[in-house]
Structure 1
């Protein structure tokens, strides 16, 4: 059920809230949906963690990840999943990170500092 709800959230973001939104209620609503999706990257259920990473991959391919989420730890959360106990979660984390680098919003000048 959680995976289905997260999928619905992503469909809403892709269809209703696509593009750059001006400050206001639409942007806050989209950010709440994406924050819920980010929270499920560390869910107790491995299937939900894996599905959340798949959905983030889909958002990355469509260039629908707001910069605020990138700066606020999305990449760190996905990177931590590379050490997950579930092989599917590790695989989907690697796929998401590779997709993010391929479709990154910073172009060829991407530079990540890992502390």
Structure 2
């Protein structure tokens, strides 16, 4: 798991890691419901270890969303568990500061008002 969660790995290891993750991702659409369930459980373990790269999380969540309406109850349960683990281990949680974000929102609103004021002037 350490090689998956380490962000300072060389390019060769990174390519191998990405290939393995893509292979796991492809198994989310497997014909066998047991395989879909087990691969979702494996994704849960990777998410708990924060071993999923941030740029891969959204594509994973989109695919896992489709598993919520799966015909297999085990796949549905595993998909819900994956969402739970990813929400608990949110990779962006430590970088979000509510006061800083409110300040950025106020700045953006001010800029937008200035742009709108300039557009309405003849």
Note the residue ranges of structure 1 that are not aligned, 5 or more in a row: 1-13, 110-115
Distance in 2, Cα, partners of 1:62 & 1:22: 16
RMSD between aligned residues:
1.5
Q: Do the aligned partners of 1:41 and 1:53 also contact (CA within 8 Å) in 2?
A: yes
Q: Do the aligned partners of 1:82 and 1:90 also contact (CA within 8 Å) in 2?
A: yes
Say yes or no: does 1:46 pair with 2:38: no
TM-score normalized by structure 2? 0.72
- Deviating above 6 A after TM superposition, structure 1's stretches of 4 or more consecutive aligned residues are none
* Alignment match, 2:107: none
Aligned length: 95
TM-score normalized by structure 1? 0.76
Q: Do the aligned partners of 1:38 and 1:74 also contact (CA within 8 Å) in 2?
A: yes
- Which among 12, 17, 20 is matched to residue 7 of structure 2? 20
* Alignment match, 1:112: none
Distance in 1, Cα, partners of 2:68 & 2:33: 13
Residue aligned with 2:13, SS:
helix
Q: Do the aligned partners of 1:81 and 1:93 also contact (CA within 8 Å) in 2?
A: yes
Note the residue ranges of structure 2 that are not aligned, 5 or more in a row: 97-122
Residue aligned with 1:64, SS:
coil
Q: Do the aligned partners of 2:50 and 2:89 also contact (CA within 8 Å) in 1?
A: yes
